[in-house]
Amino acid sequence: MRMKARYRLAIFASGGGSNASCIINYFKSHNRIEIVLVVSNNSSAGVLTMAKSNHISTKVITRSALNDQDSTLSLLATHDVDFIILAGFLLLMPPYLVAKYTSKIINIHPSLLPKYGGKGMYGHFVHEAVKNAGDKESGCTIHLVNEHFDEGEILKQVSCEILPSDTPTQIGESVLKLEHAHYAPTIEEYIMSW
Ligand code: GRF
Q: Is 124 left (phi over 0), alpha (psi -120 to 50) or beta?
A: alpha
In the reported structure, the alpha carbon of residue 140 is separated from the centroid of ligand 1 by a whole-number distance in angstroms of 10
The mean per-residue pLDDT over the stretch 15-22 comes to 93
pLDDT at 30: 98
pLDDT at 2: 63
Q: Which atom of ligand 1 is nearest to the CA of 86?
A: 10
The mean per-residue pLDDT over the stretch 119-124 comes to 93
35 has a pLDDT exceeding 90: yes
pLDDT at 73: 98
Q: Please tell me the pTM assigned to this model.
A: 0.97
Phi first, then psi: what are they for 100, rounded to 5°?
A: -70, -35
Contact 192, 6 (CB under 8 A): no
Strand, coil or helix: 122? coil
Q: Which atom of ligand 1 is nearest to the CA of 172?
A: 2
For 94, residues 6+ apart whose C-beta sits below 8 A from its C-beta are 66, 67, 69, 72
In the reported structure, the alpha carbon of residue 22 is separated from the centroid of ligand 1 by a whole-number distance in angstroms of 11
1 has a pLDDT exceeding 80: no
pLDDT tens track for 169-193:
999 999 999 999 999 999 999 999 9
In this structure, the number of other CB atoms found within 10 A of the CB of residue 117 comes to 19
